[in-house]
Amino acid sequence: MRTPLSLLLLTILSCYTTTIAFTTPVSVEKKDTQGLLRTLRGVKRILFLGDSITYSGGYVEIVDSYLHTHLPDRNYELINVGLPSETLSGLTEPNHAGGAFPRPDLHERLDRALEKVKPDLVVACYGMNDGIYHPFNTGRFVKYQEGIQRLRAKVLRYGARLWIMTPPPFDSHPIQRDTLPVGSPEYPSGRPYEGYDTVLGQYSEWLISERAQGWLEPRLYNVIDIHTPINAYVKERRKTAPDFALAGDGVHINILGHRLIAHELLKAWGAPEDLLPGLSDPNYRQEEPITQFNALIHERQRLLTDSWLSDIKHLRPGMAKGLLIPEALTKSAEMEKQIRSLAQFLPPQFGGDVTDYHGFSRYELTVDGCRAIVVAPRKAAAGLPWIWRAEFFDHRPELDLALLEKGFHLTYIEVGNTFGAPSAMRHWDAFYKDLTRRFGLSAKPVLEGLSRGGLYIYNWASANPTKVSVLYGDNPVCDFKSWPGGKGQGPGSPGDWKKLQQDYGFASEAEALAYKKSPVDNLAPLARARVPIIHLAGDADEVVPYSENTVKIRERYEKLGGSIKVIVKPGFKHHPHGLDDPTPLVEFILAHISEGRK
């Protein structure tokens, strides 16, 4: 006997409650622009109408998950009553489904659907079945147009808003042997016209033309083109993979196709493009909260779809019988509580494709024109803490991985080899603002600087001392006269020294040598803010001399009343960085973050 998912989730939630503190869901203002909110102003219940592509639920579930994670306080209800085989033209093939039944017509049930569901907004996607897989015919096209116009009139008369999507593409490529050419005497069920996508293209062009001709009332009625971008995506993929297909049978798209539809729908509603769900399969682990969250969204949607279809009634045989609506809504409400509980454990949803980083989810972003990386923990810790690495991402990641296990996010922004110069700091400012205001990460990250990364973390922290929880330097550069200048015991790096002067805008080497804001000279703001510092340093460092960098920082910071701990690696040179067992670093960071919250 299989354990019901709802019982499994209750067990999982109980386990999570004992191992990690609940996090507060990120507020709307931090995660979303106002476009999506404007589109959905006054909306609570959204009704989805369509054929088997909509009934399968993929894109509806993706949109449902997005709204739960990006607008968690809005309590939208998404009700999917897509019906396989359905049209809104009223047309059917003479021998549809082997003669078992004619195609159902949306208009037979539309009034009941509107009256029972009582939606504020309706999303409809028709056309795939409306040309009945034949070549273009004016009579069939007129029937489709009339069906759209009747749908629009009924929805608007009911008082709801309407968003119509163009039909998705028909792809003859994977089923070439089963298609028939133009001019065939008939196109029996299962033997479609080979150029049927051109028919859907004409249907789509007509819908899109309504925008150009000003027929639309944007506040009440809109058209979303999914046909063109999906075709463009397939065309681009086939440049490198000639047999690539989204629909193995030419019609029913896979989950990637549903992600593409969800992208276009959310984008049309005003969701920021860089926060749209990724197209690749993230391959989350079974034990991750996001896996359970998505599974519960799916189970809830299937429950509601079958129940609402049974309640509304229709003429399509062979459909699953759902629960009575009162029972279904009670179960749905219970699931919704579990969904919201799980959502509290989810890291912020950064959008874009997800790749693997040592078993964690890695997101690629563009911030202020720079490539950025965010790695999310499997279970986010209370307050959404994060460690911000400067330079050398993924080099000796032991500490980063240990903190990811503790619920920290790991972040990085690529600003070029600019030695913590003012231009780099402006990019850092933008990244900090994005991560804290838009995604809700903690206002006080841990800054991590390996080698030259020390210049970045000290320069940014000195300019923003109240925005830092801990500074961690690993054989860090703390005086650019020492490295890359080479004005002390070390050899320096002449090429890097020249570039540093350019990046800082120094007119001469003399101006660089007279600069008074190198980390060793600019510790007072950190001491006043009581920022705790920890260094890991090899006392035989031949590149970034220990005595010119870490020793000076320690002496001067302690003189200013600051707190600093130095872990010395006797006899170690500049490499290797890090500790095989980062426990001392982790304990220091966790202890001082806890102190900062008291």
526: CB partners within 8 A, 6+ apart: 461, 462, 465, 468, 471, 533, 557, 562
User: 418 - beta bridge partners?
Assistant: none
90 pLDDT tier (thresholds 50, 70, 90): very high
Q: Phi/psi class of residue 5: alpha, beta or left (left: φ > 0; alpha: ψ in -120 to 50)? A: alpha
Place of tokens 């008369």: 157
pLDDT at 40 over 50: yes
Report the relative pairing of strands 409-413 and 161-165 from DSSP bridges.
Answer: unpaired
Instruction: Give domain 354-597's CATH architecture.
Output: 3-Layer(aba) Sandwich (3.40)
Supply 15's token pair: 């386990």
pLDDT on residue 34: 67
Q: Rounded to whole angstroms, how far apart are CA atoms 1 and 146?
A: 50
How would you list the strands of the sheet with 221-224, edge to edge?
77-80, 45-50, 121-125, 161-165, 221-224
**Residues, the chain:** 598
Q: Which of 169, 180, 154, 582 is nearest to 399 (CA)?
A: 582
Q: Do domains 5-343 and 354-597 have the same CATH topology?
A: yes
Residue boundaries of the structural domains of the chain? 5-343, 354-597
Q: Rounded to whole angstroms, how far apart are CA atoms 483 and 493?
A: 7
pLDDT on residue 443: 95
Q: What is the mean pLDDT of residues 74-99?
A: 95
- Residue 228, class by beta-carbon neighbours within 10 Å (0-12 exposed, 13-18 middle, 19+ buried)? middle
pLDDT on residue 218: 66
149 pLDDT tier (thresholds 50, 70, 90): very high
Contact 255, 58 (CB under 8 A): yes
DSSP summary character for residue 23: P
pLDDT at 52 over 90: yes
Q: What is the mean pLDDT of residues 431-444?
A: 92
Q: What is the mean pLDDT of residues 173-177?
A: 96
Q: Side chain identity at 521, as an amino acid letter?
A: D
Per DSSP, the three-state class of 352 is strand
pLDDT 10s digits, 450-490:
999 999 999 999 999 999 999 999 999 999 999 999 999 99
351 pLDDT tier (thresholds 50, 70, 90): confident
> Which of 184-198, 274-288, 403-417 is predicted with the least confidence, judged by mean pLDDT?
274-288
pLDDT on residue 23: 33
pLDDT on residue 26: 41
Q: Which of 524, 546, 540 is nearest to 454 (CA)?
A: 546
pLDDT at 1 over 80: no
Q: Rounded to whole angstroms, how far apart are CA atoms 58 and 72?
A: 20
Q: What is the mean pLDDT of residues 545-573?
A: 98
413: CB partners within 8 A, 6+ apart: 367, 370, 371, 372, 373, 427, 428, 431
Q: Which of 89, 74, 81, 176 is nearest to 139 (CA)?
A: 89
> Does CATH number 3.40.50.1110 belong to domain 5-343?
yes
Q: What is the mean pLDDT of residues 363-378?
A: 94
Number of helices (H), then strands (E), in the chain: 20, 14
Per DSSP, the three-state class of 12 is helix
DSSP summary character for residue 548: G
pLDDT on residue 83: 98
Q: What is the mean pLDDT of residues 128-133?
A: 98
Give the percent of the chain with pLDDT over 90: 81
Q: What is the mean pLDDT of residues 356-375?
A: 94
215 pLDDT tier (thresholds 50, 70, 90): low
pLDDT at 236 over 70: yes
Give the percent of the chain with pLDDT over 70: 92
pLDDT on residue 212: 63
Secondary element (H or E) of residue 565: strand 564-569
pLDDT at 513 over 50: yes
pLDDT on residue 213: 61
**Whole-model pTM?**
0.79
Q: What is the mean pLDDT of residues 342-346?
A: 82
pLDDT on residue 216: 61
DSSP summary character for residue 438: I
pLDDT at 569 over 60: yes
